[in-house]
Each structure stands twice: as C-alpha cells, then as structure tokens.
Structure 1
C-alpha cells in the first residue's frame, strides 16, 4: 500500500478535521453530511462518483478501513465509519467532542 494514489488518499484523509468520502446519490452519505451540518462542523467531501479515479480510491479506502462502503468518514485522520455510525455518535453526544 505504498502507491502514489494511496499516499494521495492518506493526504486527503488528514487534510481537514472531517473528511467524507461520498457518492452524490447515496442516502447514507447525505445523512453523514447532514449530521455535520447540524453541529456546524465544516468538512471536506470527496465525491467518488464524480472522479475518474473514484473506484481506485474506494478500493484503497477498503484496504485502509476494512470496508469499501460509502460514506467513509474520517475525523482527525481516524475512520469513524459510515453514515449510521456518524448518526449514532451524534445521538450519544460523542461526535462533538471528537471534532473539537
């Protein structure tokens, strides 16, 4: 896992406090973004379905996180899971402390 594309993905993951690898039509991706909007936390979104290398990036995320599903949400460089995971963290009051 030392390809230039892998290095690029790892750089993207650490480029912002919150990074969401998403697809524009995915309801769970929308859910994750809505949760961060609700707590007024800005985030970087990488829309994989709008990129020529989206499938390759999704494969790399699968190797990094153990799952290829979207969204793949990272907070401070750590994967916190997908849309349902983000919502669960929010509902338990555990999301806001992660981003501060």
Structure 2
C-alpha cells in the first residue's frame, strides 16, 4: 500500500501536475479516480471539507491539493517525509 493517495478526475489539470511531481520525485502513490463515483466524492468532501481535486493524503492525513503538495516540496518538508 502506498503512503500517498491522490484522488483525481479524468479532466483535472492540477491532478496531472500532482501526479507528475510525485513521479519526478520517485514517490509512489495510489491514484483513486472519482470522475464517475458520486459516493466516493461525497465521502471525500466529508473527510476534507473540499469539493475540488486533487485531494492528496500522506499516510492517511489529508494535505490538500497540488498547491499544498508543491509548497511541501518547495519548503523541503516533502523530502523529509520521503528521504531518498
């Protein structure tokens, strides 16, 4: 099981950017496509309080979307969570 889960939709540009960033950093992730899954989207909103994707979880803790992931990378905190 991956330490990172990313909830995406087929048409989300920020989802693709988040996946690309994780791939470039060699961080394994599990993609969960909620494009056509209304119940899963409702559950995601209940957990995060947000309707947007991507929603990214690190070790089951919600961190937010692409901008939040990028901020973690820019601050060096992402590297601390996933040392090489």
Identify whether the pair has TM-score above 0.5, normalized to the shorter chain: yes
Larger fraction in strand: 2
Q: Equivalent residue of 1:19, what SS?
A: strand
Q: Distance in 2 between matches of 1:83 and 1:65?
A: 14
| Pairing partner for 2:45 from 62, 65, 69 | 62
Tell me the alpha carbon deviations over residues 20-63 of structure 1, each in whole angstroms, 9 at most, x when there is no partner.
000122011011111111110111001111x4xx1211111111
Equivalent position SS for 2:6: strand
Higher helix share: 1
Unpaired runs of at least 5, structure 2: none
In structure 2, relative to structure 1, the CA distance for the partners of 1:38 and 1:31 (3 Å cut) is same
- Mapped to 1, the partners of 2:19 and 2:58 lie a distance apart of 13
**Runs of 4+ with deviation above 3 angstroms:** none
Question: Which of the residues 29, 47, 54 maps onto 2:15?
Answer: 29
Q: TM-score, normalised by structure 2?
A: 0.88
> Paired residues, what number?
83
